[in-house]
Amino acid sequence: MNRKKVLKLLLVGAGAVGAGVLLFLWRTDTDKPPMSGPNHPAQPLDLSAHADAPPATPLRLLFIHHSVGGHLLATPGADVGTNCIYQSHPNGGGLRDRLQAAAYEVREASYGSVIGGRTDIRDWPEKFAGQMDKILACDSQDQSYPDGRRNQIVVFKSCFPNNNFLAAGQAPGNPAGPGLTVWNAKAAYNALLAEFRQRPEVLFVCFTAPPQAPKLKPLSRVKQWVKALLGISPVPARRAALAREFNNWLSDRDGWLKNYPLSNVVVFDYYDILTDHGVANLSRYPTGGGYDSHPSTEGNQKAATAFVPLLNRAVRRAGLAP
């Protein structure tokens, strides 16, 4: 057999093996088929019975976040800050200025601190169970108030990799993961409610994680051809559908908080705002030409505008303001 025939056989064999591997990965990527139909947003808790005016007296608020939360809080402008706690940033949403104008004293914990480190979904149960007293006393990063004051509001947010779901998973899920499945994420958030129930005097505000960017780095021609041959839709579309399913459960009035008896927990659906309320399941406000999941100034300002009135209503519902 001449060299050309040998090479051809080797290429065909390698292609078959590669296609088989890709098919295996596709079939095991999720235990359910891709969702279809409209990207329905959740039906959030109705807070309209409570006024959206700022509270009459200042309230202390701690925001636990990483880069996206730092951008959201920052004033639009140059990149000025450390450990993702920014005075200003090109993606700035201006939320800190809005909160301060509405009588909230804003504190932050982010990279470089124990309180601000580890903000993935599976980290929250351990963090709140083991660090609650430090969280409530946090003035900045791991520094505590010198006079024994406590935070009255705790805002917490995971970052966009936490919407990169691998599969739906199996009920009831494992809060420690390790895989990021819808059921594991549900189990983690369900585990938080027992901790929050012990602190009825504190309002806990959960941000849904921001959506993934709509674009991936271009695939090689061979990978594109194999995927087209197998009829495989892009992984982001399937995973984004799972993200919609989870975030709807988290924020819907009949989801995560349906049977929670207290009024000290609310959800701000950051994910839904950045997907334009169901227009897409991936970000409508990406940066980096559509490849970067960090939201743009436009998206962050839109979220900041929506958040403050919701918070004003939530603090009244929780009894923190008349």
* Residue 137 pLDDT: 98
Strands 59-64 and 75-76: unpaired
Q: Using an 8 Å Cβ cutoff, are 59 and 315 in contact?
A: yes
Per residue in 223-250, pLDDT tens?
767 766 765 555 578 899 999 999 999 9
Report residues of the chain scoring pLDDT below 70. 1-38, 219-221, 224, 227-228, 230-235
Provide the CATH topology of domain 41-317.
Answer: Rossmann fold (3.40.50)
Give CA–CA dist 180/52, Å, rounded.
36
For 104, phi and psi rounded to 5 degrees? Answer: -105, 135
Which residues face 189 on adjacent strands?
none
- Concatenated DSSP letters of 234-301: PHHHHHHHHHHHHHHHHHBTTTTTTT---SSEEEE-HHHHHTTTTT-SS-SS-BGGGTB-SPPHHHHH
* Residue 35 pLDDT: 36
Strand order of the β-sheet with 85-89 is 75-76, 85-89, 80-82
For the chain, what are the domain ranges?
Answer: 41-317
* Mean pLDDT for the chain overall: 88
CA atoms within 13 A on the CB side of 31: 10
* Residue 217 pLDDT: 75
How far CA 244 is from CA of 114, 119, 252, 260, in Å, comes to 30, 20, 11, 22
